[in-house]
Amino acid sequence: MGERLGYAPGAFDLFHVGHLNILRRAREQCDRLIAGVCSDDLVMQLKGRPPVVPLAERLDIVRSVRYVDETYVATVDDKLEIWKEVGFDVIFKGDDWLGTDLWTTLEAEFANVGVTVVFFPYTAHTSSTLLRSALGLLVPGHHAGPEVLTAQE
């Protein structure tokens, strides 16, 4: 049997331990791991806001993680289209997506082409949304002032 190629898609904005956990666990289940990093335009399309960290920096961060063998810039949300280009055998996602209409459909479509879908436990105590909120980044144009930075001193 040939090498098992894994694919872990994500925005990887405000990189945190939840991202690291998914990449670590994904690499344990494949021979090579490709991290699919959403383009800035795709993040805007999917989340309705631009990423905090620009694509070039997110790629540099994700490439630097020892569990990642390669990165792929995702410019479309269609995971089957990405599979046609990348050719992965297994795709990894956080279990916050488990049971959603989108991923239930994707699981069936991937099963038809021999791709396994693996969900990992979501890191509930840390997420990019929580980090954005803590930094005051959820409200467009709002930036945390110096009082936020000195309040913990």
Domains of the chain: 5-124 (3.40.50.620)
CA distance 22 to 122: 9
- Where does the pLDDT of residue 37 fall: very low under 50, low under 70, confident under 90, or very high at 90 and above? very high
Cβ–Cβ < 8 Å for 52, 15: no
CA distance 20 to 28: 12
**Average pLDDT taken over every residue of the chain:** 85
- Where does the pLDDT of residue 18 fall: very low under 50, low under 70, confident under 90, or very high at 90 and above? confident
Is pLDDT above 50 for 49? yes
pLDDT of residue 136: 67
CA distance 117 to 7: 10
| Average pLDDT of the segment spanning 27-52 | 96
User: Six-digit token pair at 8?
Assistant: 């872990």
The single-letter DSSP state of residue 9 is E
> Model's pTM, two decimal places?
0.81
Q: Which residues 6+ apart lie within 8 Å of 70 measured at CB? A: 32, 33, 34, 35
Is pLDDT above 50 for 113? yes
